[in-house]
Amino acid sequence: MITLKRKPLLMIVSAPSGAGKTTLCDRLVAEFDCITYSVSCTTRAPREGEIDGVSYHFLSQETFEARQANGDFLEHAVVHGNHYGTLKASVQASLESGQDVLMDIDVQGAQQIRAYLESGPDNEWIRDIYCDVFIAPPSMEDLQLRLWGRGKDDEAVIRRRLERAREELTCWVDYQYVIVNDRLEESYATLRSILLAERHKAHRIVSTSISKR
């Protein structure tokens, strides 16, 4: 029997608000035990049902800034007026335990990680395990309908999110994979096949063993 040991994967998924990213990512994490979310830090207030340490680490502005000054974040950005950041140590701990890590972060965060990938010798741990996916809505009209439909935000917030979405959509060219989320089932089938294909890349195999069955 041939057993392969592989390096775990760091998968980044970005999308404009309302494109369906959370639904797709939640489903991926529910289906595959091998992949887990990276829990981000944020200064935004918890929404109903969100649990500190599970949905996010909810931090005060002061604590967030202190952790930023301490260099604790792999990336951080201001999104819709709130600070968000990924703790480098927690991503590294998940990877070291053998888990693939799914980072649901915005386009600015993905840009910072790509820059880090190019930056020098201390980024070796991330270089050949990185992949990124951009999820786009089928149209701006569709996005507008979805943002109205989910009833989470008021008109001014929706307007701002649509403006921001227009900017974010121009970033798809920087990603390795792009999914236009027109039909959910098809989009999910694509996302899970990206995960499977990435997990089977030969250059991430670190050891092989052959034994009699």
Residue 87 Cβ vs ligand 5GP, minimum distance, rounded to whole Å: 9
Strand partners, 135: 179
Nearer of residues 109 and 137 to ligand 5GP, judged by Cβ: 109
Nearer of residues 8 and 109 to ligand 5GP, judged by Cβ: 109
Q: Which of 8, 18, 20, 109 binds ligand 5GP (CB under 6 A)?
A: 109
Residue 209 Cβ vs ligand 5GP, minimum distance, rounded to whole Å: 37
Return phi, psi of residue 127, to 5°.
Answer: -60, -50
Strand partners, 132: 12
Residue 32 Cβ vs ligand 5GP, minimum distance, rounded to whole Å: 20
Region 42-101 residues binding ligand 5GP, contact defined as CB under 6 A: 44, 75, 77, 79-80, 84-86
Q: How many residues bind ligand 5GP (CB under 6 A)?
A: 15
Nearest-10 Cα torsion for 66, 72, 76, 79: -50
| Residue closest to ligand 5GP when measured from CB atoms | 109
- Are 12 and 116 in contact by the 8 Å Cβ rule? The answer is no
Q: Which of 12, 35, 105, 194 binds ligand 5GP (CB under 6 A)?
A: 105
Alpha-helical (H) ranges within the chain are: 21-31, 61-69, 88-96, 107-117, 124-127, 140-149, 155-169, 184-199
139: left (phi over 0), alpha (psi -120 to 50) or beta: beta
Region 1-40 residues binding ligand 5GP, contact defined as CB under 6 A: 17, 40
Nearer of residues 75 and 132 to ligand 5GP, judged by Cβ: 75
